[in-house]
Chain A
Amino acid sequence: MRAKLINYMRPVAVVAAGKTPFGAFPDRDLRSLAVQAGDKCLKNGHVNPLQVEAFYLGNFAGPSFTGQNHLAPYISTALGIRDVPATRFEAACASSGSAFFHAFSAVSAGLYDCVLVAGVEKMTSQPTARVTEILAGAGDCSGEVKAGSTFPSLFAMIARRHMYQYGTTREDLAAVAVKNHANGALNPDAHMRKVITMEQALNARPVAEPLYLYDCSLISDGAAAVLLMPFDRARDFTDKPVRILGVAQASDFVALDQKPDITTFPAVRRAAQKAYEMAGVTPRDIQFAEVHDCFTIAEIVAIEDLGFVDKGCGGPYESSGATARTGEKPINASGGLKSKGHPVGATGVAQVCDIVAQIRREAGDMQLKRHSLGLAQNLGGSGASCVVSILGNV
């Protein structure tokens, strides 16, 4: 498998990254956020928009949130990019992870030498009940959604089953929230820079039992972008190219009730396995990771499916402090979706931006000691899509 891939793939690097802060920005529209991130990225890479050979956009529900469709050329032309393919990718919360995977594939295969990948979501212009309804559209609308399921409720049912099968506790879930809020307090671009206590997390109001307010990520606006080039060419534009060592996408059933065991996501396992094979590394080699903590239980399931811990051991591992900034395997040093914010279509690329900043030692107060090999895991829906990316300067 590995030998075959290496035979026809060119090494690809992230040349530059650019992000907006995440938050609620009532006076900003979707396009202006995407343009801000894209502009910043191109400037950081010293690339003229006319040099961009393709534009890959991740966006989950711009048409539902804002009414605007045909988003990729709507944004690319505003960035000054002309004539080239401009396409939107939708894979629920893994939309921009998917755009990143497909952009990588095209550059690696030799189709393009300079590609801009962006992700954007503008969510806060709608009331929470409407946002809940739009997000539920990532589930199966012929079954679970018609029964009144929301996204928090799908992950609540996963949490309930994980507690039943493995003894995971509410305190384990709360430990994820407390840790990610502590990390996010160090992130100047985070939506909620607020330290919380275990008591606050445990005593918050219920959203979908056993998930409470602090078990849930935020409704945010924001955008992120990265510029990809073949590794050899990247050196002409930056002295800190970050190599994409492995990236893979996998899929699974949309409806939660179709999965044989809802405490594990096969799409995460498959994507991770492929990414590890491409990179030639094992889970133990990964020094730090940004994982998709749309809910606290999702981080616990993620670290199990990525192979960082054995199945069922994620809860106690989180409670032990091993995933803290100073622990043996720092998870979500950016604050994660929980504290940094979760503009869904932007999240996948934003995770890559955070990994790149760590590898380049540009993460400021968030900087980790061991930072040369990082992994990003971007999940769509209740596990129907997943993209895993491994980046390094090795």
Chain B
Amino acid sequence: MTGAVYTETVIHVAPEAFASDVPYQVAIVTLDSGSRTTGRVLGDRVAIDDDVEQVETRDGVPFFRKIS
């Protein structure tokens, strides 16, 4: 699945469950279908309007990577 970044943030203060991941990036992505979903970003940081593809799903959470 592919889409474009609607908004994003890099998180530095996290709940215990994610403490070992900081800093990590979370984005809301507008999928090509038009619906939006919240997921994690792997690899390079993304900005609004960047094209991304879903590369995996962990525990129902989509993980996106920038399409370069």
Contact = CB atoms under 8 A, between A and B. Distances in A.
Contact of B24 (A148, A156, A164, A258): A148
Interface residues of A, number: 34
A149 B26 contact: yes
A202 to B, nearest CB: 16
A283 interface: no
Interface in A145-171: 146-150, 152-153, 156-158, 160-161, 164
Given A143-B38, A147-B40, A161-B6, A256 B12 contact: no
B56 interface: no
Contacts of B18: 148
Contacts of B11: 148-150, 152-153, 156, 208
A129 B15 contact: yes
Interface in B1-39: 6-19, 21, 23-24, 26-28, 36-39
B55 interface: no
A375 B38 CA distance: 34
Interface string A200-212: 0000011111110
Contacts of B27: 157
Contacts of B8: 157, 160
Interface string A124-156: 000011101100100000111011111011001
A148 B21 CA distance: 9
Contact of B61 (A147, A150, A206, A208): A147
B40 A160 contact: no
A262 B12 contact: no
A161 B37 contact: no
Nearest to A152: B13
B9 A257 contact: no
A332 to B, nearest CB: 24
Nearest to A144: B38
B63 to A, nearest CB: 9
Contacts of A160: 7-9, 48
B39 A150 contact: no
The secondary structure that dominates the B interface is: strand
B37 A257 contact: yes
Nearest to B29: A257
A143 to B, nearest CB: 6
B59 interface: yes
A255 interface: yes
B13 A207 contact: yes
Contacts of A161: 6-7, 48
A208 B6 contact: no
B60 A150 contact: no
A129 to B, nearest CB: 5
B9 A208 contact: yes
A132 B15 CA distance: 5
Contacts of B39: 147
Contact of B12 (A128, A129, A209, A257): A209
A256 B38 contact: yes
A149 B12 contact: no
B65 to A, nearest CB: 15
B59 A157 contact: no
A208 B15 CA distance: 12
B28 A256 contact: yes
B38 A133 contact: no
B15 A209 contact: no
Contacts of B48: 160-161, 164
Contact of B38 (A128, A149, A206, A210): A149
Given A153-B26, A255-B38, A258-B36, A207 B15 contact: no
A158 B23 CA distance: 19
B26 to A, nearest CB: 6
Given A153-B9, A157-B7, A206-B10, A257 B15 contact: no
9 contacts: A129-B14, A129-B19, A132-B15, A144-B26, A148-B61, A149-B11, A152-B11, A157-B27, A206-B10
Given A148-B21, A208-B12, 19 more contacts: A129-B14, A130-B16, A142-B60, A146-B59, A147-B26, A147-B40, A148-B26, A148-B61, A149-B26, A149-B38, A157-B9, A157-B28, A205-B12, A206-B10, A207-B12, A208-B11, A255-B38, A258-B36, A262-B6
